[in-house]
Structure 1
Amino acid sequence: MNAQIMNMALVMGSMQVTNRLDLEDTKTKQMILGAYVTAQAIVLGISFLIKKKIQSKNDTTVLKYLDQPKPMSGEQPKLITTTNMDYDLEQNAQAQKQALISLALMLFLNFQFGVIRPLVVQSILPVKNALQSKFAQVHLFGKPAEGDLRRPWKADNPFAALSGAAEEPQSEAAEKAAIKKAEKAESKAGAKSESKKDL
């Protein structure tokens, strides 16, 4: 089953469960809040474990890729040169940051406005997503970084499953050709700036 469809099924299922709970009962609220905080602690624990695994592998293989600009920005893709380890650490750190922001936001909404319903689904989805993330698949479950798990990792398109049209990944050859083109453009720009300095 597609991950996005599974997420939607979990959301709908958790809504059905929430409708059967007495959300006015203090004990129920405390149990939901406790489950939510525990789930977030598990997510952060997974993230910490992945970080340790990445550091222990110390994969210094050079990774070059084109960082795509935001849509409608009019900017050109930027060539990024890094290592597998640095890239993986950066991706993991971004996931960790998102988890902390989500935790802070949900706790604020809960304590400030008494919001409790979203905590039920947020006790399930983040753990599932953390375990299914591409860096978890590579570093926790030992899957090779090939095919869908090949770096750089593309974010899943949440609308692809609904439209039935899966996004075609760029072939490795096309990606290498685009990187070479970007490298040539950068070297030409560097040569021009050097010649201007000489003048």
Structure 2
Amino acid sequence: MNAPLQNLAISLGVMQVARKIPFDDPKVLEYVRIGYVASQVIILAVYYFASQKIKSKNDQTVLKYVEPPNQMTQEPGNLVTTTVRDYDLSETSKLIRAAYTSIAMMAFLHLYLKYTQPLFVQGLMGLKSLYEAKTVKIHVLGQAPEGDLKRPFKGAAGMFGATADPQTDKAAIEEAEKRIGTKKEE
């Protein structure tokens, strides 16, 4: 089962469990709030730890790839030349931004709209996304950057399995370099 369908199935299962929880009870609601905040603190702490590990390794290996083209335009993808350190830091930064966005949405849903079930669901889903984070798998869990963890990371699969992966083959990189060269000459 691909990741979006798996996330949907887990979300639906967790929501069924959340229906059984008496959120009307102030004590239960307090425990759910504490659990949500604790999970978010753990998530942000692990991402911070991963970024510190990336910085301490300071892997300056050059990484060249062609970004996947935008589906809405006919323009080809851009050539990206970076280091493994910078690439991993940018990927971890994306994860941190996603965590902060999730926290902001939950604050709006819970504090303004008074929804309580999403706190329970997002607390668990956040921990699941932490476990699936590729930079966490490499730098915190110590897995080798092979297969799915090979840089540049493959794009997340869509609901129906479609992905837009970066191109790392030599022909695509050379063609992108030629394209950049012709733009500079004009």
CA shift digits 1:29-86 (9 cap, x unpaired): 2221211111111110110011011011100000111122432133321111110000
Q: Hey, what's the Cα distance between the residues in 2 that align with 1:20 and 1:154?
A: 38
Q: Hey, what's the Cα distance between the residues in 2 that align with 1:102 and 1:50?
A: 19
Listed as ranges, the matches of 1:19-98 within 5 Å are: 19-98=19-98
Equivalent position to 1:187, from 172, 181, 184: 181
The aligned amino acid for 1:121 is V
CA shift, 1:136, in A, is 1.2
Q: Hey, what's the Cα distance between the residues in 2 that align with 1:157 and 1:14?
A: 22
CA shift, 1:22, in A, is 1.4
Q: Hey, what's the Cα distance between the residues in 2 that align with 1:66 and 1:34?
A: 43
Q: What's the Cα RMSD here?
A: 2.2
Report the secondary structure of 1:145's partner residue.
coil
Report the secondary structure of 1:123's partner residue.
helix
Q: CA, structure 1 residues 21+149, in 2 after alignment: closer, same or farther (shift >3 Å)?
A: same
The equivalent of 1:197 in structure 2 is none
Q: Hey, what's the Cα distance between the residues in 1 that align with 2:179 and 2:70?
A: 20
Report the secondary structure of 1:122's partner residue.
helix
Q: What's the TM-score once normalised by structure 2's chain length? A: 0.89
* Rg (Cα) greater in structure: 1
Q: Hey, what's the Cα distance between the residues in 2 that align with 1:166 and 1:109?
A: 31
Q: Report sequence identity in percent.
A: 36
The answer for unaligned runs of 5 or more in structure 2 is none
Report the secondary structure of 2:123's partner residue.
coil
Q: Hey, what's the Cα distance between the residues in 1 that align with 2:163 and 2:76?
A: 21
Is the 1:10–1:121 contact (alpha carbons within 8 Å) kept by the matching residues of 2?
no
Q: Hey, what's the Cα distance between the residues in 2 that align with 1:31 and 1:136?
A: 28
Q: CA, structure 1 residues 76+168, in 2 after alignment: closer, same or farther (shift >3 Å)?
A: closer
CA shift digits 1:123-155 (9 cap, x unpaired): 111111112211111111222222211111123
Q: Hey, what's the Cα distance between the residues in 2 that align with 1:5 and 1:100?
A: 23
Q: CA, structure 1 residues 188+166, in 2 after alignment: closer, same or farther (shift >3 Å)?
A: closer
Is the 2:66–2:167 contact (alpha carbons within 8 Å) kept by the matching residues of 1?
no
Q: CA, structure 1 residues 170+182, in 2 after alignment: closer, same or farther (shift >3 Å)?
A: closer
State the number of aligned residues. 186
The answer for unaligned runs of 5 or more in structure 1 is 194-199
Is the 1:67–1:78 contact (alpha carbons within 8 Å) kept by the matching residues of 2?
yes
Q: What's the TM-score once normalised by structure 1's chain length? A: 0.84
CA shift, 1:112, in A, is 0.8
CA shift, 1:186, in A, is 1.4
Report the secondary structure of 1:32's partner residue.
helix
Is the 2:145–2:151 contact (alpha carbons within 8 Å) kept by the matching residues of 1?
yes
